[in-house]
Chains A and B, each alone.
Chain A
């Protein structure tokens, strides 16, 4: 699971509607997998991210290279785009769990695959 995916996820347990994003990453094993650097793709993606959640999640994984706010010149700032590229598209969580900050529901990640299925009573 890449962080671009994580940024789109929220807890979906029944009646867990507040403070259910972002899911906290715990006990993770991370792997960096090289991907093609596409500046134009990244330029268009920036505005679609929940930025503070993305930065906080990267920090949880030990990546402190991202600025707290999106730089004004983000689209022309190649250094920034490269940092963004690594954190967003090349960082893969292979093992671990995602924990809801509100209800503490645990979603396991095994061999790169998050299991987001809920039990009957949680739907």
Chain B
């Protein structure tokens, strides 16, 4: 069976918050455990960024998911946060520390951190204004002169089949197939059990779009940007 393909959607012009609640927050709450099982390998660009930090740096991982980056570099302190309490419980159960908060309104002091990362998070906000606000919030909490690293899904995807995917459509639902079997002990049962499909909302970023949003904030200079594993990323320095 081929991989599930994204479906183009039209985003609402009001009540964006409840739209994201239904198509992002609630989905992650439901798929948290299965999602976490598929997210264990750190991406090299993120790993290099974290390993290049000064000993004793303190930073924030905003939208940390299952916390896979929190322990990458034991010489720095990373405070994880995510909107999904089920994902944060997984962080806690792995022996790391996390808190539940909203990426648009974090509880951190202004200029508190030496760095911040937000990996595969900003693409879940459904309007350009909200995506920019999320970036502004990340920049607010780091000290002037400090770096942030942001990853978002790219419109230029290798894993979506060209036949099904219209490259002019940036707002999509990406299906997540969750087995309805209760236990993972019997793989055959899981494999044969009916799957329930959960649709997650994504905004797929075109080349240069993340850079533009960051520049628009007026709060940072771009240090480096690139494309890796179907994502665009930017390292920016707070002014």
Residues of A within 8 A of B (CB): 1-2, 4-5, 8-12, 21, 36, 38, 40-45, 48, 50, 107, 111-118, 120, 123
> Quick one: given A9-B108, A115-B100, A118-B105, are A43 and B56 in contact (CB under 8 Å)?
yes
Q: Which residues of A contact B56 (CB under 8 A)?
A: 40-45, 48
Q: Does B109 contact A (CB under 8 A)?
A: yes
**Interface pair A11/B107, CB less than 8 Å apart:** yes
Q: Which residues of A contact B112 (CB under 8 A)?
A: 8
Q: How far is the CA of A75 from the CA of B135 in the complex (A)?
A: 36
Q: Which residues of A contact B83 (CB under 8 A)?
A: 117
> Quick one: given A115-B100, A117-B100, A117-B101, are A10 and B107 in contact (CB under 8 Å)?
yes
- Count of chain B residues with a beta carbon within 8 Å of a chain A beta carbon: 32
**Interface pair B108/A8, CB less than 8 Å apart:** yes
Instruction: With a 10 A CB-CB cut-off, give which of A40, A48, A50, A111 has the most chain B CB atoms.
Output: A48
Name 19 extra pairs, CB < 8 A, besides A36-B74, A114-B99. A2-B97, A8-B58, A9-B107, A12-B105, A12-B106, A38-B75, A43-B56, A44-B57, A45-B77, A48-B114, A111-B89, A113-B88, A113-B98, A113-B99, A115-B99, A115-B100, A116-B106, A116-B107, A120-B17
**Interface pair B113/A8, CB less than 8 Å apart:** yes
Instruction: With a 10 A CB-CB cut-off, give which of A36, A43, A115 has the most chain B CB atoms.
Output: A115
Q: Which residues of A contact B85 (CB under 8 A)?
A: 113, 115
Q: How far is the CA of A109 from the CA of B45 in the complex (A)?
A: 33
Residue of A9, A11, A44, A112 near B54 (CB, 8 A) is: A44
**Interface pair A118/B102, CB less than 8 Å apart:** yes
Q: Which residue of A lies closest to B18 (CB)?
A: A120
**Interface pair A4/B102, CB less than 8 Å apart:** no
Q: Which residue of B lies closest to A109 (CB)?
A: B99
**Interface pair B97/A112, CB less than 8 Å apart:** yes
**Interface pair A10/B109, CB less than 8 Å apart:** yes
Contacting residues of chain B (86-105) with chain A, CB-CB under 8 angstroms? 88-89, 92, 97-102, 104-105
Contact with A along B7-47 (1 / 0, CB 8 A): 00000000001000000000000000000000000000000
**Interface pair A117/B102, CB less than 8 Å apart:** yes
Q: How far is the CA of A112 from the CA of B94 in the complex (A)?
A: 13
Q: How far is the CA of A48 from the CA of B113 in the complex (A)?
A: 8
Closest CB pairs A-B (n = 10): A44-B56, A116-B101, A116-B107, A114-B99, A12-B107, A115-B100, A41-B56, A8-B112, A10-B109, A45-B56
Q: Which residues of B contact A42 (CB under 8 A)?
A: 56
Q: Which residues of B contact A123 (CB under 8 A)?
A: 102, 104-105
